[in-house]
C-alpha cells in the first residue's frame, strides 16, 4: 500500500510539473489543446494526492506501524476519529494534507472558471501548479509520510514496525481539534486561489474588473474558513490548555491572525476598486501579502524558528520555505512594478468625509495591527541576531500595542458604514451619528456608575454599543421602507432587505458579530482567579461563589488514566452544579494533561482546573471566573453566518411579500438603474 | 432622530440616569486579595515561564512544571524575606537574563520593539493623509490619461442592489423632511 501511495505522490509531482509547463506553453503559443491538457493534469493531480492521503488514513485506521508516521502519531487504543486527526498532527502528514487541499482547490477553481476566464486560466493553472509543485517536492523528497520502519533483526535490517505506536499528542485529543486544523488549512490554502487569479490578471493585463468578483468570492471563502479556524483554535486553547484564557499571542496563533488581518483589509479595499476603480496597486499588494503570510505562517509552525507550544510538527524544512517565500516575494514585487501602467487608476476623492476615506484608515489600522503582530513575533529572533541576547515578547506587549489599534478599528467599524460613497453631508452625519453617540455615551456613564472604571473596558463597551446601534439603524431604516411598500412584519422586511444586497447586509451582520466578540474580549479585564490546596470537605471562596471539594476519584481506560476532583458549586446556600475537572495521563505518550470543567453562562464562565496534587497530599484547585467570555463564541458564529449571507448572490428583485409589491419593486429597480446611468454620465 | 421611538428613548435615558445616580455611591472596585497574595500574583504575572509554554509564571499550568514551580516558590520565599516587587523581578533577570521578562525592557535596542509598531502607524497615517490630499486636490495631474469611465467599472452585481439602498436612503430623507 505504501508503494502505491508513494508512486501516486511521485506521479502527482511529475504531472504538476507537466501542468505548469503545458499551461505556460499553451498560453504563450495559444495552443488550446495544451491548455486543456494542463487542466486535466490538475484534476489528475487531485485524484493522485487523494489516493496518497487515503492510503495514509487507511494505514492510521488499521494501525500499520510499519509506517514511521503512523507509529509516531497514533496507537492502538486511540479512538478511530482521533486516528483520522493524526493525519495532520505531524510534519509529513500535515504537509500532505496541505497538498491535498490545494489540489482540490485547484481542480475546483479550474472547473468553475475555465470558460468564464479563458484568457487567464492558463496562468491561474501555472501559479497553482507552481505552489502545488513546491508542496509535492516536500511530500516526495523531504518529508515523505510513507517512510517505513527498519529494524535490526539478527544483524539484518528488515521492515518491521513496533507493536504499538507513540500515540497522538494528548493536547490534540479534543473534539474541536478534530476540525480546527482542517478549517485553518482550508483558509490558508484557499488564499492560493485569489493569489493565482491576481497574478494571472497582472500577467495577462485583463480589461475590466470581472476577475475581481471571482477573486473576491474566493477570498471570502478562504477568509470564512480562516475565521472559523482561528475561533475554533481559541476555543480549543480555552478548553484544553487550562490557563483560563483563549489567546496567548503564541507565534503560531499570531501566524493565523496575520493573513486574517490582511485578508480583511483586502475584503474592504476591494470595494473601492469595484465601486470607484481605485486602489488597484494596493489591492494587488494585499492579496499577495495575504498569500505570502499564509506560507510564512506555515513556515513559522514547521521550522521551529520561534518556540511555540502549538508547533506540533517541526523539522529542518525551514530553508525550503524561505527559498519559496523569497522567490515569490521577488516575482510578485517585480510584476507589480512592471505592470504599474496597467494598474493606473482614476484616483479622485470628492470629499475627505466619505466612505473612501474610512476604508483607507480601516486598511491602515488593519495593516498596523498585522505589522505589530509580525514585529512582536519576530523580535526575539531579531534581537538575538542584533545583540546576541534573546528578548521575549509575550502577551503583555501584544496587548499594550494592539488594544488601542483594535479599539480604533472598532470605532471605524461603526463609523465607516455611516459615511456615504463620494461625500457625506453634514445633515446625514448628524442624523446617523447623534442618536447612537448619545445612547452609547449614556451606557458608558451607567457602566461608570456601576463601577467599571478602567479606561479600555469603558471605551470598548461604549464603542460596542455605538457600533451595534449603527448596525441596528441600518437594518431598521431599510426594513421600515420595505415594510411601507410591501407590508409584512419588520423582521420579514429585514430579511428581504438582506436578500436584496447580501454583501452589504451580510457585512453588517459580520460587524455585529465582531461587536459581540469585542464584548467577550473586554470581559477579560474583569477575570478573577483563585488557587487553593484542598482536601475533601474543604471550601474555597471565589467572587460570590463557593466551591466545596466532595471527592477525588480515579478512572482508567486503554487510552489514558484519569483523576477527577468532584466539586460542588454554591451561590449562598444554593447548590448550582457539580463540576469535575480532571487530570489525564496518556499511556502511549506518557504525557499528562488537564481537562478543565466549565460552567458556561452568558454573563460568566466558572472555569475550574485540577492543577495536581501538592506534596502535602492536597488537591491544587485553580478557579477562574471569566465574565462575558461566551460572547466571543456567539459573536464568532454570527461572523460566520454573516459571511455565508454575503457569499450568496443578491436578489435585487426580492421583496414580493404575499404576491404584493412586485411591480413596485421592479419599477424601483428600473429607476435605480436609470439613476446610476445618469450618475455615471455625470462622472464621465 | 425620528427613526427612534421617542418615548422609548426618553424612558431609557431616564432609566440610565437613575441607575447612574443610585449606583454612584454603591459602586466599588472588585474585591481585593490579601496583600501577600496580591503581590505574589503581580510579581508572577511579570515573569515569563521558562518551560517554553509562552505563558506567565502565574498562568503556566503544566503539571509539575519545574520552571514555574521553582519561580513561584522563590517569589514566595523572597516576599517572606521582605524583598520588594522590583527587587524580586531584578533578581530573576540576573539569574535568567532578559528573556524572563514577558515584554522587551525599555532600554537600548529593545526600545525598537515598542517604537516600531507606533512608528509604522504614524508613518502609515501620514502616507494615508498624503494620499487623500493627492486624491482630493491633485486629481488632474495624477490621473492623466485615465478617465473615470475607464477606471471605475462597477460590477453588475454591485449596481442594482446598492443603487436601491441609496434610493431608499433618499426616500427616507424625503419622508423625514415631510414629517
> So what's the ipTM on this one?
0.81
Give the distance from residue A349's alpha carbon to the nearest chain B alpha carbon, in angstroms. Answer: 5
A228 shares a domain with A105: no
Q: Distance between CA atoms of A496 and B171, rounded to whole angstroms?
A: 18
**So what's the pLDDT on residue A567?**
95
Nearest-10 crossing angle of helices A455-486, A662-683: 120
Residue where one domain finishes, among candidates A630, A652, A667: A630
Q: A207 is in which domain, residue-wise?
A: 174-351
A592 shares a domain with A557: yes
Out of A243, A365, A501, closest to residue B59 by CB: A243
**So what's the pLDDT on residue A595?**
87
Strands A604-613 and A619-627: antiparallel
Compare all CA atoms of chain B with the CA of A651 and give the residue at the minimum distance: B161
Q: Is the pLDDT of residue A597 over 60?
A: yes
* Residues of chain B contacting A532 with CB distance shorter than 8 Å: none
A160 — pLDDT class (breaks 50, 70, 90): confident
B164 to A668: CB separation less than 8 angstroms, yes or no = yes
SS3 (DSSP) at A620? strand
Substitution target in B15, B21, B50, B63 with the highest count of A β-carbons within 10 Å is B63
CA A209-A213-A217 angle, 5° bins: 155
A442 — pLDDT class (breaks 50, 70, 90): very high
A201 shares a domain with A121: no
Neighbours of A11 (CB within 10 A): 18
Out of A277, A372, A449, closest to residue B153 by CB: A277
Which tops the pLDDT comparison, B38 or A78? A78
**So what's the pLDDT on residue B136?**
79
Residue where one domain finishes, among candidates A170, A190, A224: A170
A210 to B155: CB separation less than 8 angstroms, yes or no = yes
Split into its structural domains, chain A has a count of 4
- Looking at chain B from residue 66 to 95, which residues have their Cβ under 8 Å from any Cβ of chain A? none
Neighbours of B75 (CB within 10 A): 26
The pair phi, psi for residue B9, each rounded to 5°, is -65, -40
A536 shares a domain with A487: no
* Residues of chain B contacting A375 with CB distance shorter than 8 Å: 113, 116-117, 120
Q: Is the pLDDT of residue A676 over 60?
A: no
- Looking at chain B from residue 102 to 121, which residues have their Cβ under 8 Å from any Cβ of chain A? 102-105, 108-110, 112-114, 116-118, 120-121
* Residues of chain A contacting B162 with CB distance shorter than 8 Å: 275, 501, 504
A395 to B102: CB separation less than 8 angstroms, yes or no = yes
Which tops the pLDDT comparison, A375 or B149? A375
Out of B1, B29, B117, closest to residue A451 by CB: B29
* Cβ-contact A151, A61 below 8 angstroms: no
User: How much is the mean pLDDT over chain B?
Assistant: 72
What's domain B35-100's architecture?
Orthogonal Bundle (1.10)
Residue where one domain finishes, among candidates A170, A193, A222: A170
Q: Is the pLDDT of residue B62 over 90?
A: no
Give the range among A27-41, A335-349, A430-444 with minimum mean pLDDT. Answer: A335-349
Q: Is the pLDDT of residue A574 over 80?
A: yes
**So what's the pLDDT on residue A252?**
86
**Cell numbers at A55, concatenated:** 492510503
Substitution target in B162, B172, B175, B178 with the highest count of A β-carbons within 10 Å is B162
A342 shares a domain with A224: yes
SS3 (DSSP) at A578? strand
Tell me the whole-structure pTM to 2 decimals.
Answer: 0.85
A156 shares a domain with A22: yes
SS3 (DSSP) at A566? strand
pLDDT in tens, A469-491: 999 988 998 898 888 887 788 88
* Residues of chain B contacting A251 with CB distance shorter than 8 Å: 54
Give the distance from residue B32's alpha carbon to the nearest chain A alpha carbon, in angstroms. Answer: 10
pLDDT in tens, A610-653: 988 877 788 889 899 999 999 999 999 999 999 999 999 888 76
B14 — pLDDT class (breaks 50, 70, 90): low
- Looking at chain B from residue 122 to 151, which residues have their Cβ under 8 Å from any Cβ of chain A? 124-125, 128, 131-132, 134-136, 139, 142-143, 145-151
Neighbours of B119 (CB within 10 A): 12
The pair phi, psi for residue A452, each rounded to 5°, is -85, 100
Q: Is the pLDDT of residue A555 over 60?
A: yes
A46 shares a domain with A144: yes
A391 to B108: CB separation less than 8 angstroms, yes or no = no
If you count residue pairs, one on A and one on B, with CB atoms under 8 Å apart, how many are there? 270
SS3 (DSSP) at B171? helix
**So what's the pLDDT on residue B173?**
61
A503 shares a domain with A531: no
Q: Long-range pairs for A538-543 at CB < 8 Å and ≥24 separation? A: A538/A618, A540/A621, A540/A623, A542/A623, A542/A625, A543/A625, A543/B31
A514 — pLDDT class (breaks 50, 70, 90): very high
Please state the domain extents for chain B: 35-100, 111-178
- Looking at chain B from residue 24 to 63, which residues have their Cβ under 8 Å from any Cβ of chain A? 24, 27-31, 41, 48, 52-56, 58-61, 63
**Mean pLDDT for the stretch of residues A209-229:** 90
B52 to A309: CB separation less than 8 angstroms, yes or no = yes
**So what's the pLDDT on residue A61?**
93
Q: In which region does residue A320 sit, left (phi positive, over 0), alpha (psi from -120 to 50) or beta (all else)?
A: alpha
Residue B83 DSSP symbol: -
B26 — pLDDT class (breaks 50, 70, 90): very low
Which tops the pLDDT comparison, B131 or A157? B131
**Closest-CA residue to A171 (of A118, A117, A236):** A236
A671 shares a domain with A581: no
Q: Distance between CA atoms of A591 and A21, rounded to whole angstroms?
A: 48
Give the distance from residue A465's alpha carbon to the nearest chain B alpha carbon, in angstroms. Answer: 14
A434 shares a domain with A327: no
* Residues of chain A contacting B150 with CB distance shorter than 8 Å: 277, 346
Q: List CB contacts of A328: < 8 A, sequence separation 6 or more.
A: A291, A292, A295
* Residues of chain A contacting B170 with CB distance shorter than 8 Å: none
**Cell numbers at A540, concatenated:** 474555597
Q: Long-range pairs for A47-50 at CB < 8 Å and ≥24 separation? A: A48/A8, A48/A9, A48/A11, A48/A12, A48/A15, A49/A8, A49/A9, A49/A12, A49/A96, A49/A99, A49/A100, A49/A103, A49/A136, A50/A100, A50/A103, A50/A104
Q: Is the pLDDT of residue A658 over 60?
A: no
Give the distance from residue A307's alpha carbon to the nearest chain B alpha carbon, in angstroms. Answer: 7
* Residues of chain A contacting B132 with CB distance shorter than 8 Å: 349, 352, 357, 360
A667 shares a domain with A588: no
User: How much is the mean pLDDT over chain A?
Assistant: 87
A212 shares a domain with A302: yes
Amino acid at each position: 500500500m505504501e508503494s502505491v501511495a508513494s508512486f501516486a505522490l511521485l506521479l502527482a509531482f511529475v504531472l504538476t510539473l507537466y501542468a505548469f509547463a503545458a499551461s505556460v506553453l499553451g498560453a504563450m503559443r495559444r495552443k488550446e489543446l495544451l491548455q486543456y491538457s494542463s487542466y486535466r493534469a490538475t484534476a489528475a493531480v487531485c485524484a493522485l494526492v487523494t489516493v496518497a492521503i487515503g492510503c495514509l488514513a487507511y494505514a492510521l485506521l488499521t494501525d500499520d506501524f510499519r509506517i514511521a508516521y503512523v507509529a509516531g502519531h497514533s496507537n492502538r487504543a486511540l479512538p478511530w476519529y482521533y486516528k483520522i486527526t493524526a493525519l495532520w498532527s505531524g510534519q509529513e502528514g500535515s504537509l500532505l494534507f496541505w497538498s491535498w487541499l490545494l489540489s482540490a482547490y485547484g481542480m475546483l477553481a479550474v472547473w468553475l472558471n475555465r470558460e468564464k476566464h479563458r484568457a487567464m486560466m492558463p496562468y491561474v493553472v501555472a501559479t497553482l501548479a507552481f505552489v502545488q509543485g513546491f508542496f509535492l517536492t516536500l511530500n516526495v523528497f523531504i518529508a515523505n509520510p510513507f517512510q517505513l520502519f527498519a529494524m535490526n533483526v539478527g544483524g539484518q535490517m528488515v521492515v518491521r514496525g513496533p507493536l504499538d505506536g507513540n500515540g497522538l499528542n494528548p493536547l490534540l485529543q479534543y473534539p474541536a481539534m478534530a476540525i480546527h486544523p482542517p478549517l485553518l488549512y482550508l483558509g490558508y490554502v484557499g488564499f492560493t486561489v485569489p493569489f493565482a487569479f491576481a497574478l494571472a490578471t497582472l500577467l495577462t493585463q485583463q480589461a475590466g474588473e470581472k476577475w475581481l468578483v471571482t477573486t473576491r468570492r474566493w477570498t471570502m471563502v478562504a477568509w470564512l474558513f480562516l475565521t472559523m479556524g482561528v475561533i475554533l483554535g481559541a476555543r480549543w486553547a480555552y478548553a484544553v490548555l487550562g490557563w483560563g484564557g483563549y489567546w496567548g499571542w503564541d507565534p503560531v496563533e499570531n501566524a493565523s491572525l496575520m493573513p486574517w488581518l490582511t485578508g480583511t483589509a483586502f475584503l474592504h479595499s476591494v470595494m473601492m476598486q469595484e465601486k470607484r476603480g481605485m486602489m488597484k496597486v494596493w489591492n494587488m499588494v494585499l492579496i499577495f501579502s495575504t498569500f505570502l503570510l499564509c506560507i510564512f505562517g506555515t513556515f513559522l509552525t514547521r521550522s521551529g524558528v520561534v518556540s511555540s507550544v502549538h508547533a506540533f510538527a517541526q523539522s529542518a524544512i525551514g530553508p525550503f520555505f524561505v527559498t519559496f517565500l523569497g522567490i515569490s516575494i521577488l516575482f510578485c514585487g517585480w510584476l507589480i512594478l512592471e505592470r504599474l501602467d496597467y494598474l493606473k487608476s482614476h484616483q479622485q476623492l470628492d470629499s475627505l468625509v466619505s466612505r473612501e476615506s474610512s476604508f483607507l484608515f480601516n486598511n491602515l489600522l488593519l495593516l498596523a495591527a498585522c505589522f505589530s503582530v509580525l514585529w512582536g513575533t519576530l523580535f526575539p529572533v531579531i534581537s538575538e541576531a542584533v545583540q546576541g541576547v534573546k528578548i521575549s515578547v509575550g502577551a503583555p506587549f501584544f496587548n499594550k500595542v494592539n488594544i488601542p489599534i483594535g479599539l480604533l478599528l472598532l470605532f471605524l467599524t461603526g463609523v465607516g458604514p455611516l459615511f456615504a460613497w463620494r461625500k457625506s453631508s453634514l445633515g446625514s452625519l448628524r442624523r446617523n451619528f447623534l442618536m447612537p453617540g448619545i445612547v452609547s455615551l449614556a451606557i458608558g456613564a451607567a457602566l461608570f456608575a456601576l463601577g467599571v472604571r478602567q479606561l479600555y473596558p469603558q471605551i470598548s463597551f461604549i464603542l460596542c454599543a455605538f457600533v451595534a446601534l449603527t448596525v441596528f439603524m441600518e437594518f431598521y431604516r431599510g426594513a421600515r421602507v420595505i415594510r411601507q411598500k410591501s407590508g409584512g412584519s419588520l423582521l420579514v422586511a429585514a430579511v428581504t432587505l438582506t436578500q436584496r444586497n447580501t454583501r452589504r447586509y451580510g457585512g453588517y451582520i459580520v460587524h455585529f458579530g465582531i461587536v459581540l466578540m469585542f464584548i467577550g474580549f473586554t470581559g477579560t479585564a474583569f477575570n478573577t482567579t483563585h488557587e487553593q490546596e484542598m482536601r475533601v470537605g474543604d471550601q474555597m471562596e471565589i467572587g460570590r461563589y463557593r466551591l466545596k471539594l466532595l471527592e477525588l476519584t480515579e478512572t482508567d481506560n486503554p487510552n489514558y488514566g484519569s483523576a477527577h476532583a468532584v466539586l460542588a458549586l454554591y451561590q449562598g446556600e444554593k447548590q448550582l452544579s457539580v463540576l469535575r475537572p480532571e487530570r489525564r495521563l496518556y499511556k502511549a505518550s506518557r504525557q499528562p494533561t488537564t481537562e478543565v470543567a466549565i460552567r458556561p453562562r452568558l454573563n460568566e464562565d466558572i472555569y475550574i482546573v485540577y492543577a495536581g496534587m501538592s506534596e502535602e497530599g492536597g488537591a491544587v484547585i485553580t478557579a477562574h471566573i471569566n465574565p462575558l467570555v461566551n460572547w466571543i463564541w456567539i459573536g464568532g458564529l454570527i461572523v460566520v453566518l454573516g459571511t455565508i449571507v454575503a457569499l450568496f448572490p443578491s436578489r435585487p428583485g426580492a421583496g414580493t411579500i404575499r404576491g404584493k409589491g412586485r411591480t413596485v419593486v421592479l419599477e424601483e429597480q428600473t429607476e435605480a438603474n436609470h439613476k446610476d446611468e445618469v450618475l455615471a454620465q455625470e462622472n464621465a | 432622530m425620528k427613526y427612534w421611538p421617542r418615548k422609548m428613548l426618553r424612558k431609557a435615558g431616564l432609566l440610565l440616569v437613575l441607575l447612574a445616580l443610585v449606583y454612584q455611591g454603591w459602586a466599588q472596585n472588585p474585591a481585593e486579595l490579601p496583600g501577600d497574595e496580591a503581590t505574589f500574583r503581580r510579581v508572577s504575572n511579570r515573569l515569563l515561564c521558562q518551560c517554553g509554554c509562552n505563558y506567565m509564571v502565574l498562568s503556566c499550568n503544566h503539571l509539575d512544571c519545574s520552571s514555574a514551580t521553582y519561580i513561584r516558590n522563590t517569589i514566595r520565599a523572597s516576599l517572606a524575606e521582605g524583598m520588594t516587587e522590583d527587587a524580586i523581578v531584578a533578581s530573576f533577570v540576573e539569574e535568567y537574563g532578559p528573556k524572563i521578562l514577558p515584554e522587551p525592557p525599555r532600554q537600548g535596542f529593545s526600545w525598537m520593539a515598542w517604537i516600531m509598531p507606533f512608528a509604522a502607524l504614524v508613518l502609515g497615517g501620514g502616507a494615508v493623509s498624503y494620499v487623500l490630499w493627492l486624491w482630493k486636490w491633485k486629481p488632474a495631474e495624477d490621473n492623466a490619461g485615465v478617465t473615470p469611465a475607464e477606471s471605475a467599472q462597477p460590477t453588475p452585481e454591485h449596481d442594482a442592489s446598492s443603487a436601491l439602498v441609496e434610493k431608499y436612503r433618499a426616500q427616507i430623507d424625503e419622508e423625514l423632511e415631510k414629517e
